[in-house]
Chains A and B, each alone.
Chain A
C-alpha cells in the first residue's frame, strides 16, 4: 500500500515538473536561452592584482597600508564612512601611540558640548571610530544623486574577489562610446545603451553605470610621504590593500595561527594512523595469518616450511 501510494506520488511530482520542463524547453526553443543584455555581455570580471597579504604565507605591507590609509583619508572619506574601524586600530599599521592620537585628533567626530548639552563636533580620540561624512543616510543620498555611498569597512569581503574588485573599479572608468570587449564594441552591439546623466560608465560595476564619479582622477592626487610615485594604479592598489586590512584586521594572525594548528593536526593524525594500524593488525586477515603464523613459528609449533606453503 505504501509502495503504491509512493509510486503515485512520485509519478505525480515527476509529471508536474516535467510539464514545467516542457514549457521551459518550448520557450527556450522559440525564444532562445535568455536575452543578451549589455550587462551580461560587457561586464568584466575583476583584474588580477596581488597583495602582500595574499596566500597562505601572506603578511601585511605596512608601508602600503599607510599609503592606502592616506588615500582613504584624503579621497574616499569625503563620501564614505568606515564605521567598523577605530582610530586605535591604526596602531596595527605601524603608527606609534602618539601618532595614533594625533591622527585621531585630526578628525572631527560628533560629540556633545559639555556646557550646553548640544550636539557639536569635537576632535577624535583613539577610541572613536571613523566618523561618517554625513549626519544620516538621507543627507548622504541627497548629496550623491540618490545613491548612498556604502560604508567601506567590509567592502573587501562584501564583494566577490573584493580587493581585486576595488582595484579594478577604481581604475576601470571608461568611455562607453569607445568601449569594447574582444573586438566587439558596446555601442555597436547595444546602440540603445546609455549612461544617464549623473552616472559614470564602469564595466567592473554589475550594471555598468555607477553613481560614483571617478575618485582617482589624476596621478599625484595624493603626495606620498615615502616617495612612492602616486599613479592612479598605485593609489588604487594601495587603497585596495588598506581596505583588505579594514575588512579583516585579523587576517594575517588567522593565517599564522593556521600553520601550527595544521602542523599539530597532521602529526596527531599520523600517530592516530599508526595507532589504528597497530590495534587492528591482529584481526586484519592478511596481517593476521602472517603474524599469527610467525608467532606459532617462533614458538616452534610449525616450521617455516609449513608457513611458506600457506
Chain B
C-alpha cells in the first residue's frame, strides 16, 4: 500500500522490463526504499536511526560471517582462536574490532531509534504493529549480543554467561533444571559455548526476517513525523529517493566517522579488560558487569534487594523482563490522541525531566559496583522507570490538554504561507 500519488515504477531498459515481468524485484525495491515511497517532508535527524540500524545489522553480519571462518567454538581453544584472529589473520584485528564495536554502535542507534519512537509516540495507531515487531527485534538483539560476548571465552564472557543464565534459576520449581538445560551442564562450558555460537550465528538472520516485517508494516501507514499529524496531501510528502537517501547518506557518514574513531583509536574503551583474561571457573572477577548496553536493565535487576512475598532475586528478574515487556503495551497505555511530544506539554516534562534522567542514572548505576550509594540511586531510578511507563503515561495521557496542532505537515513546514511545493498547487519548480 502507499499513497495514491506515489510514483510508479517504469522500467526503461528492456532487461528491466523483462525482469519486471518475471520477478519484479526492482519494483519492490523502488517501492520500499526508492522514489515509490512517499515520506513526510518534515522528518528531523532522529528519523535517520532506522536506516543506520539496518546498516549496523548488515555490518555485523558481514564482519561476523568472516570472523566465523577463523573462530573455533570450543572452550579449550576459543580464547586462543580470537587472539589468532587478532595477530595472524590478515586484517583480523580490524574485523574483530569492527564487529565488537559494531555491536556497541548498533545499540547506540537502536536506543536512539527507540527514544525517537517514545518521544514522538510512533507506537500509536495505526503503527502499533511496527512498534511490536520493533520490541521483538530489540529482544532478539539483546540475546544475540549477549551470546556474542560469551564467544571470546574470557573472564567476563564466562561469568556473564554464569550470571545471566543464573537468572533463570530464580524461577520457582523449574528454575534450576531450566538453567542446567540451557547451559547443557551445571556451569558454562563447552556445551554452552557451542550452542551460544550456533544461536549467535542464527539469530541475526531471524532479526533480518523481523526487520523485513518491520519495514513491511511501516509501509502500510507510512512513516510518522515530528508533528504527529498524518499525511493529508501530496504536498506533505517527498519521495524517499532522492530526498531521504541523500539525508541518510549524510547521517551514515557522521555515524561512520564516530564509529571509526572508536574502532581505530579506542577499540577497547567500550569493552572490559577482564575479557582479555582466559575464562577461569575457579576465579571470580571482583565486579561482574555486562556490556554497557545492558547496564540499565542490569541496574533494575540489582535494585530489588528486599524479599517481599517473593525472593528478592525473583523480583529482580521479573522487573528486568517487565522493564522491556511493558513496552509491548505502550500503544494501549498511552491514550493521548496527539502523538508528538512537541504538542504534549505535561508528557514532555515527564519525558525530558523524568524518564531521561532516570535512564541516565540506570545506565550509570548498572556499570557501577553493587555498593551504596549506587544501589539506592538505581532503586529510585527503577521506581521512576516503572511509574513512568505504567502509571504516569496512562494518567497524563488522559488528563493533559495538548497544544494546538498544525493543520498539516505542509503548514508546519511552511508556516503561514501554505503554498504547496509539490503537487498540482505547487509553485513552478526550479
List of B residues within 8 angstroms of A268 by Cβ: 253
B307-318 Cβ-contact flags toward A at 8 Å (1 or 0): 010001001000
B243 touches A261 (CB 8 A): no
Distance (whole angstroms) from the CB of B300 to the closest CB of chain A: 8
Q: Which of A217-225, A233-241, A279-287 faces chain B?
A: A279-287
B427 touches A292 (CB 8 A): yes
A234-262 Cβ-contact flags toward B at 8 Å (1 or 0): 00000000000001111001110110011
List of B residues within 8 angstroms of A193 by Cβ: none
B264 touches A254 (CB 8 A): yes
B13-31 Cβ-contact flags toward A at 8 Å (1 or 0): 0000000000000000000
Q: Which chain B residue lies CB-closest to A261?
A: B260
A7: Cβ under 8 A from any B Cβ: yes
A255 touches B383 (CB 8 A): no
Q: Which chain A residue lies CB-closest to B305?
A: A20
List of A residues within 8 angstroms of B312 by Cβ: 20
Q: Which of A23-31, A44-52, A168-176 faces chain B?
A: A23-31
In chain A between 146 and 184, which residues have their CB closer than 8 angstroms to a CB of chain B?
150-151, 153-154, 157-160, 162
B274 touches A250 (CB 8 A): no
List of B residues within 8 angstroms of A56 by Cβ: 265
In chain B between 342 and 358, which residues have their CB closer than 8 angstroms to a CB of chain A?
none
A114: Cβ under 8 A from any B Cβ: no
Assembly CA distance A159 to B286 (angstroms): 12
B413 touches A285 (CB 8 A): yes
Assembly CA distance A19 to B335 (angstroms): 30
In chain B between 235 and 260, which residues have their CB closer than 8 angstroms to a CB of chain A?
238, 242-243, 246-247, 249-250, 252-254, 256-257, 260
List of B residues within 8 angstroms of A139 by Cβ: none
B86 touches A250 (CB 8 A): yes
List of A residues within 8 angstroms of B263 by Cβ: 258
| Given the contacts A7-B390, A276-B246, A292-B430, A13 and B322 also touching, CB distance less than 8 Å | yes
Q: Which of B105-113, B126-134, B326-334 faces chain A?
A: B326-334
Assembly CA distance A57 to B97 (angstroms): 19
Binding site for B on A (CB under 8 A): 2-3, 6-7, 9-11, 13-14, 16-21, 23-25, 28, 33-34, 56, 83-84, 89, 150-151, 153-154, 157-160, 162, 206, 247-250, 253-255, 257-258, 261-262, 265-266, 268-269, 272-273, 275-276, 279-283, 285, 288-289, 291-292, 295-296
